[in-house]
Amino acid sequence: MSDQQRTSDQQRGAAGDPERASADAGVAAPSSPSAARRANQSDSPPPDLKKQRDEFLQSFSRSARMTEQLVRDYEKLAERVVQLEAENASLRAKVEADDAIRDLLRKIDELEREKTELISRYTEAKRTYSGLSERVASFEEEFSNLANLFVASNQLHSSLSPRRVVRRIKEVLAQLVGAERYAVYLLNADGTALAPIASEGVPSESLSPLPTDLVDGTGRVAEVLRTGAAYVDEEVDTSQGSLQSPPAVIPLRLDDEAVGVICVFATLAQKTRFVTIDFELFKLLGQHAAGALICASLQAESGHRRPNLEAFIDLGT
């Protein structure tokens, strides 16, 4: 126990017990009534001192009560402080939790924005990819078409044998165009008759001789020969064509003159219409087949002799 507490206890005890207070104050209590009397007669304090003592004791007692009250108040306040601290901590936690929720909501908003942006970018990428895929498919188709044209051209001009050139023309028609029945005609020297030089899937008696009105008349072949423009029917089922109405008649041109025609009477069953590459192949055949044929024929006629260099001198000047 501290000195301060001890003093306080002593003070409280004195305030509650007047006899003890007086003993503590150095006043001995009389042990018997006679002794008290004697004491009163001999040692009793003067009345003013007694009054002072009483006043002191009353004051001391009041102070003690006040102190007790203060201690109680202090204890209450301490409890209140503890309570407030707890409340404060709770509120702080709540505020922090609210902040965390706000942070989370903010993050959710940000993520939602990011998600929307990503979806938008994904959609855009998908559209771009789809566009690219279409372009790749388009390039592949174009490449395929160019390969067909290159191969056809290469094959047409890779031989100086008329037989082989005819075979290559037939291959282009059968393998690349998908023609099942067709014939190749050339005009005779004076341009009065069309002679079939090659055919496939058509009885030979049906081909030769062609009626002369095909050349002079109004039929498809006659018109193609006259105008030099190809006839290609894009509406009909090309696999169902006939000798009377071929779905394609292609002029064979030498310089600007039509010297023959290719008639496609019908295509393979699985090919029911002409497509882009067929038009290009028709153009190629029209421009190159006659030249290749005639060149090969002249070469054959000359005994496959190469022309003298003199034949080429001064061509470029």
What residues make contact with another protein under the rule CB under 8 A?
Answer: 137, 140-141, 143-144, 147-148, 150-152, 154-155, 168, 171-172, 174-178, 180, 268-271
Determine if the peptide bond prior to 209 is cis (ω within 30°): yes
Phi first, then psi, for residue 184 (nearest 5°) are: -115, 125
83 versus 175: smaller Cβ distance to another protein: 175
Name the residue nearer to another protein (CB basis): 16 or 201: 201
State the nearest-atom distance from the C-beta of 151 to another protein, in Å. Answer: 5
Smallest distance, Å, CB 255 to another protein? 26
- Tell me the closest approach of the beta carbon of residue 138 to another protein, in angstroms: 11
* CA gap 314, 308 in Å, rounded: 13
Neighbouring CB atoms inside 10 A of 125's CB total 12
Smallest distance, Å, CB 190 to another protein? 34
Please give the single-letter amino acid code of residue 172: V
E-strand stretches of 143-278: 179-187, 194-200, 231-232, 248-254, 257-267
In the complex, what is the shortest distance from the CB of residue 261 to another protein, in angstroms, rounded to a whole number?
21
Q: Pairing mode, if any, of strands 248-254 and 194-200?
A: unpaired
CA atoms within 13 A on the CB side of 117: 6
Question: 């005819």: which residue's tokens?
Answer: 166
Tell me whether residue 117 or residue 142 sits nearer to another protein (CB atom). Answer: 142
Q: For residue 183, which of 232, 221, 240, 156 has the smallest C-alpha distance?
A: 221
In the bound state with another protein, the residue whose beta carbon lies nearer, of 178 and 247, is 178
Q: How far is the CB of 144 from another protein (least distance, A)?
A: 4
Whether residue 160 contacts residue 304, with contact meaning beta carbons closer than 8 Å, is answered with yes
Nearer CB in complex with another protein: 183/221 = 183
Residue 13 neighbours by CB under 8 Å, 6+ apart: 20, 21
| Distance between CA atoms of residues 279 and 264, nearest Å | 13
Nearer to another protein, 171 or 223 (CB): 171
Residue 159 Cβ, how far from another protein at the closest point, in Å?
A: 10
Q: Indicate the residue among 176 and 230 with the shorter CB distance to another protein.
A: 176
Say how many CA atoms lie within 13 Å of 169 toward its Cβ: 33
